[in-house]
């Protein structure tokens, strides 16, 4: 089976070949996405529309390369589709979107709306008497969106014990440190709104899995502390790489230095 390090190597190649940015945003989320698709999500690759499948909402859609790769490893999509990543007219855009792809529950794009979609999806499970769980991935910078907190206030009131939010807490957004824009502890804030909170090492698959599988009696948030650009020394903790495209020389350097 593929390892998170294998995924890093392939994601770097995918984003470089596609001449797209967001490489560091993909790298920070590798273990989260790996754990979800290859350890936790209840899926049937032969039936991607199986009614009892767990739902994954990628509100942080700019880690699409990692998501598509994990979907291929889980057998949901054919690996040959990865060659179409960010190809004009293709079905694999650099910001995760369905475009007919199996295994994606919603489009990404406008940040902040994924948790609201997740609430509706979790409510649908309750309405239909199904036991699937809904997982939503957001970024820490994205948590400055007001819609996130409107949804965060609502979910505990509805008693959604089948809803899990995962925050890729990599401390960087766009061109700045997240705390330089809004200095807050996300775990404390969600807990104050009535959420069950778990803090995990976002680069430990076992730790992430423990947080995701922990019993819950209300909405749960897993704050995954990560490093933006994880594994590539020249990208780690460097906000300037957020949207920057790699040259082929930088691609070679990234692969050689991958740790």
pLDDT tens-digit profile of 202-251?
Answer: 999 999 999 999 999 999 999 999 999 999 988 888 887 787 888 888 88
pLDDT averaged over the chain? 92
pLDDT at 188: 96
Q: How many CA atoms lie within 13 A of 192 on its CB side?
A: 7
Question: What is the mean pLDDT of the segment spanning 42-65?
Answer: 94
**Residue of 134, 153, 117, 136 whose CA lies nearest to 54:** 134
The CA distance from 47 to 99, in Å, is: 18
Q: Looking at 53-57, 84-88, 223-227, which range is the least confident one? A: 84-88
- With contact defined as beta carbons under 8 Å apart, do 111 and 142 qualify? yes
Instruction: Look up the CATH number of the domain holding residue 22.
Output: 3.40.50.970
Question: What is the mean pLDDT of the segment spanning 40-61?
Answer: 95
Number of folded domains that form the chain: 1
Domain coverage including residue 223: 4-257
pLDDT tens-digit profile of 142-186?
Answer: 999 999 999 999 999 999 999 999 999 998 887 777 786 787 899
pLDDT at 76: 94
């Amino acid at each position: 089976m593929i390892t998170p390090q294998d995924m890093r190597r392939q994601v770097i190649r995918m984003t470089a070949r596609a001449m797209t940015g967001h490489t560091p945003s993909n790298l920070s989320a590798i273990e989260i996405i790996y754990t979800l698709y290859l350890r936790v999500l209840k899926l049937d690759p032969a039936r991607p529309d199986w009614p009892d499948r767990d739902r994954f909402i990628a509100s942080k859609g700019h880690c699409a390369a990692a998501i598509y790769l994990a979907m291929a490893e889980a057998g949901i999509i054919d690996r040959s589709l990865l060659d179409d990543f960010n190809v004009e007219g293709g079905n694999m855009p650099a910001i995760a979107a369905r475009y007919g792809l199996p295994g994606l529950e919603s489009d990404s794009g406008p940040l902040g709306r994924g948790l609201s979609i997740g609430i509706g999806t979790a409510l649908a499970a309750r309405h239909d008497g199904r036991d699937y769980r809904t997982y939503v991935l957001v970024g820490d910078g994205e948590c400055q969106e007001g819609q996130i907190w409107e949804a965060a206030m609502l979910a505990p009131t509805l008693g959604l014990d089948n809803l899990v939010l995962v925050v890729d807490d990599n401390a960087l957004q766009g061109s700045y440190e997240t705390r330089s824009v809004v200095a807050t502890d996300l775990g404390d804030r969600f807990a104050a709104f009535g959420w069950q909170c778990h803090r995990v090492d976002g680069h430990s698959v076992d730790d992430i899995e423990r947080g995701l599988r922990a019993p819950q009696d209300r909405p749960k948030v897993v704050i995954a502390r990560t490093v933006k650009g994880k594994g590539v020394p020249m990208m780690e903790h460097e906000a300037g790489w957020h949207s920057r495209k790699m040259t082929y020389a930088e691609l070679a350097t990234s692969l050689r230095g991958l740790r």
